[in-house]
Structure 1
């Protein structure tokens, strides 16, 4: 009887605990593998991914965390919108295609620009 009561109390305690909402940004140059990375996180097949036009939003539940990932397009014309997401994000994942040696300098410059932004300061960044 005690075990049943303890299980019920534990269930009620877990049920009442609020979940924590976390927003992450997935950024990087076009064709770096951002969408493939998001698909891998979701447990989906990351092959045959079409380029992201604008952005896509993915909502995941991980334990007590409700995670929203904004997969932002990496083309030159769309990078200007990235800063609109900085203030509400918990952290940034900057995806680099290290096999694209012709774009390493551009990648370095764009990553430095992201890291210098005042709304990114103090937030975790995964490269």
Structure 2
């Protein structure tokens, strides 16, 4: 009996302990290379990502699953199907291409405002810093309006630089420190993020039940039983009435928490880290 319980516990435990992260960005931003660097593996193929790739690693004793989704134009519409179950976002930007930066800003703003990503931390990677035409993370923070968006949508944000300097001593690569910050921030706010995931999953299940019914749900009592919001709502999720099924971010996430931007100590004269973090009291 004890051995059976141990095997069942081992099967259930990974689902609760694995942190699911999503890597997104435009095409040729360097997402696959970033994923291999985080996992400490050597990249052996250089094909464009078609659909999604999964990576698994361990960061400071925490099991992490990385899902990289293609950044080509035909794959942008499938990003939203990964938003519900992820705990954090890695947004990779090609800092050497001004056109990509402008497009990335428009996409980044839509991601921050998405209902399924409200309150989840964002790690912005200013990639390809080894190229001479790249801009530093301070300019990238201003171009992408990170401070304003982080305060508006209450998403903890951090910008780190990354590049391929061929083990140069005077180069600073903040990818590892950035991913550690992302995991630490998720663990600090894990219960809040899990409640949000369960809450939105309950709404999705409730809407699917309504669509499967033969007649539209009007709220009127009939002989046939109608789906109940109370039955589909998770116990840990905040209560929401049927008239408020269209989520209002300011009502569901009414957290008057100060957000500040702090510049970390300069490790390299030209590579400065910008942090926009939400402090929960």
The answer to whether residue 23 in structure 2 is matched with residue 26 in structure 1 is yes
SS in 1 for 2:117: coil
Alignment partner, residue 120 of structure 2: 123
Query: Which of 76, 79, 91 in structure 1 is aligned with 2:76?
Result: 79
1: CA distance between counterparts of 2:108 and 2:92? 10
Give how far 1:125 is off. 0.4
5+ residue gaps, structure 2: 1-9, 125-281
> How do residues 10-89 of structure 1 correspond to structure 2 at under 5 angstroms?
20-45=17-42, 49-89=46-86
Higher normalized helix content (fraction of residues): 2
5+ residue gaps, structure 1: 1-15
The answer to whether residue 110 in structure 2 is matched with residue 113 in structure 1 is yes
Does the aligned pair in 2 maintain the 1:37–1:46 contact within 8 Å?
Answer: no
- Per the normalisation by structure 2, the TM-score is 0.37
2: CA distance between counterparts of 1:64 and 1:125? 21
Alignment partner, residue 5 of structure 1: none
SS in 2 for 1:82: helix
Does the aligned pair in 1 maintain the 2:39–2:56 contact within 8 Å?
Answer: no
Deviations 1:21-41 (A, max 9, x none): 100000000100100000111
Spell out structure 1 runs of 4+ moving beyond 3 A.
45-48
Deviations 1:68-117 (A, max 9, x none): 10001001110111111111000000000010112221111011111111
Q: Which segment is superposed worse, 40-49 or 26-35?
A: 40-49
Give how far 1:62 is off. 3.2
